[in-house]
Amino acid sequence: MKKSLRVKYNVILILIGVLIYLSTVSIGTYQHYKSIVESYNERAYQAAQMVDKMYSDEQAQEWAKLTYDYVHGDATEEDAAAVTSDPAYMQILDLTADLRDSINANDIFVFTVDRQVLDSFTEEAHANQTWRPMLYIADNYRNPEMNYLFGQAGVVLPEYIDIMREVCDTGVHPSEYIISKGKFGFNISAMQPMTVSGRTVAIVGVEIPMTTLFGDLRKFIIFISLVALLATAVLLVLGSAFFNRSVISPIRLVSREAEDFIKNDNKISEKLKEIKTGDEIQSLSESLLKMEIGINEYIDNLTKVTAEKERIGAELNIATQIQADMLPRIFPPYPDRKEFDLYATMAPAKEVGGDFYDFFLIDDNHIALVMADVSGKGVPAALFMVIAKTLIKNRAQMGGTPGEILHDVNEQLCEGNESELFVTVWLAIVEISTGKGIAANAGHEHPAIMRAGGGFDLSIYRHSLVVGVMEGAKYADHEFELHPGDCLFVYTDGVAEATDSSNELYGTDRMLEALNREPDASPDKIIANVNEGINEFVKESEQFDDITMLCFRYFG
């Protein structure tokens, strides 16, 4: 089932809109998440730096050392109690608690690192909670019950081992974000080193819960989703309206006008001129309009050409019939004459041809045999053939030898022969009572003669010039004699030059083979055998030349 261009476009536009919407929300969410994390991270380090300033270098160094000694048994509980009851210590705890609440943090704590324990990490010790590298100086967790006391050792996540080493070794807080998820919640943390003379003596830790971040992020996602959804919807509406107006409507108009052109008998679509989009659609409508005009002109011309072709075809059919009527077609032509028998055929390559044959009685004892081939094909050759045939017959009936007849005919044909056509002619006059004959060959094919009891062979003698080329040409006579049972076969070059699909010629050898298939047969059967041989040879190949044959058998 076909779908309209509008439906396809709207589907594509919706998919693009969804893609834009998802991309906008995803990119916006990522950028916002990144900015919030940066903000919270900055807030954590600002708080850590404020706590760092609350401790004097001496206090930080002293309390860190005391914490380490207390954990390792080198300080007493009285020493630890003295620190935790110190007004300065209590003041720092109170200030740290206020700072924790003001930045909505989970915990702000200060600790030193037992580097020897930190470097002795094993997964088993971590799992058993026996690996505790953090030694707490102060802890201000939001839930007091979860606070570490002064001098207590605490665990650390394994992924923070390298970070704590970096802080201890460099005295600079890490550049990457510290995000943790454990029993203290999902937090973003800061680790600010407290240094004395370039040496890290303690670390301030700040943990801000990521739940606050995600709350802000959730609000942002809702906001940007609504904005992106609204923008996408507006884009879809505007894009669909623009595309429908500038593309769909003109294309539908072009399609409708093309259909109307077919339905309304090729009526030119004037509405196509109204499309002024200034783009390929306008070019399409202009091309369609030109095509419609061209089609109508072509149909008009085709109608005229077809009518003219039909007229010419009808005239050619008449010309074919006239040409066929000019050639003797009634066989046997002289049923009361028992001295001879003859048969002839002519198959033009086109509707009309330039080949012709003729035979006629000059008197009761002489018969003229003519085989001729006009140069060229079609109507010009046919017209020249009519003239040549008429001149030869008229001149032959006035008497004279074949050479004399062709000489006079040549003189007449050379007059005003601006088309420069010519004709090859084989002309013979046979004395019926004796079988003696005289022939003249004006550039024509050699005849084939069969002697009684034998086979056909070519009778080869020197040709004279073709007729119609040069005034004053002389034509030689050749005498021959036919005996009872002899047979004479004459033909045009269309027989020997019949061509098969591989451009091989039929040739005179194959022609003689066909003639000798039944050399004693009647003239019509002999010609039929030659025709059969030609057809078997050329098969489906096109006939390029007229094929004309005449067979004369003498009985005496």
Element (H, E) at 262: helix 249-263
Rounded to an integer, the average pLDDT of 434-462 is 95
* Res 422: pLDDT: 94
Whether residues 350 and 320 share a domain: the answer is: no
Residue 287 has phi, psi (to 5 degrees) of -65, -40
Considering only CA atoms, give the Rg of the chain.
60
Range name among 10-14, 332-336, 458-462, 464-468 with the lowest pLDDT average: 10-14
CA distance 261 to 111: 91
Residue 242 belongs to some domain of the structure: no
Total domains in the chain come to 3
The reply to whether 239 falls in a domain is: no
pLDDT at 182: 66
Residue 550, pLDDT score:
97
* pLDDT the model gives residue 323: 67
How much is the pLDDT for 228?
74
pLDDT at 4: 62
Mean pLDDT on 170-176 = 84
- Boundary-marking domain end, from 292, 326, 360: 326
> Given a cut of 80, is residue 9 above it in pLDDT?
no
Q: What is the mean pLDDT of residues 223-248?
A: 74
For helices 87-102 and 5-54, give the axis angle rounded to 10 degrees: 170
**Residue 224, in any domain of the structure:** no
Q: What is the pLDDT of residue 504?
A: 94
> Cis peptide leading into 332, omega within 30 of 0?
yes
Judgement on whether residues 210 and 315 belong to the same structural domain of the protein: no
Q: Which of 326, 353, 373 is the last residue of a domain?
A: 326
Q: Report whether pLDDT(52) > 90.
A: no
Residues 403 and 502 in one domain: yes
Output the pTM of the full model: 0.51
Examine the pLDDT at 395 and tell me if it is beyond 80: yes
Q: Are 434 and 519 contained in the same domain?
A: yes
pLDDT attached to residue 465: 96
Within a domain: 154: yes
Q: Is residue 100 part of a domain?
A: yes
Average pLDDT over the chain, rounded to an integer:
84
172 and 35 in a common domain: yes
pLDDT at 446: 96
CB contact set of 33 (below 8 Å; sequence gap of 6+): 213, 217
Say which amino acid occupies 495. Answer: V
pLDDT value of residue 27: 82
Residue 229 lies in a domain: no
Predicted pLDDT of residue 161:
85
222 in any annotated domain: no
**How far is the C-alpha of 156 from the C-alpha of 132, rounded, in Å?**
7
pLDDT the model gives residue 471:
93
Most confident range (mean pLDDT) of 272-281, 368-377, 420-429 is 420-429
User: pLDDT > 90: what percent of the chain?
Assistant: 35
Kindly state whether residue 241 falls inside one of the protein's structural domains. no
* The pLDDT value given to residue 48: 82
Task: Output the six-digit token pair for 443.
Answer: 């550039």
Same domain (yes/no): 145, 285: no
Q: What percent of the chain has pLDDT over 70?
A: 85
Which string of DSSP letters, residue by residue, matches 321-374?
HHHHHHS---SSS-TT--SEEEEEEEE-SSSS-SEEEEEEEEETTEEEEEEEEE
For residues 444 and 399, what is the distance between their CA atoms, to the nearest angstrom? 22
- Say yes or no to pLDDT of 106 above 80: yes
What is the predicted pLDDT for the residue at 379?
Answer: 77
More confident residue, 108 or 179: 108
Read off the pLDDT band of 187 (50, 70, 90): confident
Give the position of tokens 């606050």: 212
Q: Which residue has the tokens 């007004």?
A: 87
Q: Both 275 and 345 in a single domain?
A: no
* Of the ranges 51-60, 317-326, 520-529, the best mean pLDDT one: 520-529
Q: What is the pLDDT of residue 302?
A: 79
Contact in structure between 173 and 192 (CB atoms under 8 Å): yes
Question: What local confidence, expressed as pLDDT, does residue 179 receive?
Answer: 78
Domain that holds residue 299: 264-326
Report the CATH number that the domain containing residue 204 is assigned in CATH.
3.30.450.20
Determine which of 82-91, 276-285, 439-448, 490-499 has the lowest per-residue pLDDT on average: 276-285
User: Are 336 and 211 in a shared domain?
Assistant: no
Question: Which 3 state secondary structure label does DSSP give 423?
Answer: strand
* Residue 460 sits in the same domain as residue 530: yes
pLDDT higher than threshold 80 for residue 385: yes
Choose one of 295, 311, 326: the last residue of a domain: 326
User: Which of 127-141, 469-483, 504-518 is predicted least confidently?
Assistant: 127-141
Is the same domain home to 34 and 64? yes
**For residues 258 and 268, what is the distance between their CA atoms, to the nearest angstrom?**
9
Write the pLDDT tens digit of every residue in 296-346. 777 778 778 877 777 766 666 666 666 667 889 899 999 999 999 999 998
Nearest Cα neighbor of 511 from 493, 484, 486, 485 is 493
Residue 370's φ and ψ, nearest 5 degrees, are -130, 135
- Taking a C-beta distance cutoff of 8 angstroms, is the pair 205, 107 a contact? yes
Q: Provide the pLDDT for residue 333.
A: 94
Same domain, 135 and 277: no
- In this prediction, residue 8 has a pLDDT band, given cuts at 50, 70 and 90, of low
Same structural domain, 481 and 354: yes
CATH of the domain at 363: 3.60.40.10
